[in-house]
Amino acid sequence: MPYATAIFAGGCFWCMVHPFDEWPGVIDVVSGYTGGHKENPTYEEVCSHTTGHREAVRITFDPEVISYAKLLEIFWHQIDPTDAGGQFYDRGDSYQTAIYYTNDEQRDQAMDSMATLAQSGRFPSPIVTEILPAGPFYEAESYHQDFYKTNPAHYSRYRRGSGRDRFIVSHWGQD
């Protein structure tokens, strides 16, 4: 079976690489931009909130080793799915959450996983993460790739300071 692709917007893409990168069956995790109207946007353009793009990660995975359902579970555990204004410290549309599906099966699994999460009662507010068809994905600049590896001290300070780690621990009991 060939490799598959999953695309998730979970706020700052720096914080979305490491949680997926460590799983067997994940071949590659790339930071980038998707969902907007500007071709080949730059980081500065996306941060200006004029491109319609969100920071996102594109995950190449082996579905015989790790399922799309497992990737969805990992995704939900990294975000606040009830925050329509961005994620944690980062505010604005470029930091809003979304699942970008590449086929009908992914769409159906994403919708089922969101419904299951909503029915769980884990969050007191409604789930606002969007489920959208995948469009063009533009790789972010090289200095954004694997940021947790290339700038570990900055990455750790950012995660702690943003409130993401505290939120994950309080809702999922993990860090």
Q: Pick out the chain residues at pLDDT < 70.
A: 1, 174-175
Q: What is the pTM assigned to this prediction?
A: 0.95
Q: How many domains does the chain have?
A: 1
Catalytic residue among 12, 110, 140, 168: 12
Please name which of 37, 34, 99 lies closest in space to residue 68, comparing C-alpha atoms: 99
Q: Is 12 a catalytic residue?
A: yes
Please name which of 142, 134, 139 lies closest in space to residue 39, comparing C-alpha atoms: 139
121: left (phi over 0), alpha (psi -120 to 50) or beta: left
Structural domain including 103 reads 4-172
Burial class of residue 105, CB neighbours in 10 A (0-12, 13-18, 19+): exposed
DSSP 131: E
How does pLDDT run across 37-61, given as a tens digit for each residue?
999 999 999 999 999 999 999 999 9
Place of tokens 């900055």: 154
Distance CA 12, CA 96 (A): 9
Residue 59: which CATH number? 3.30.1060.10
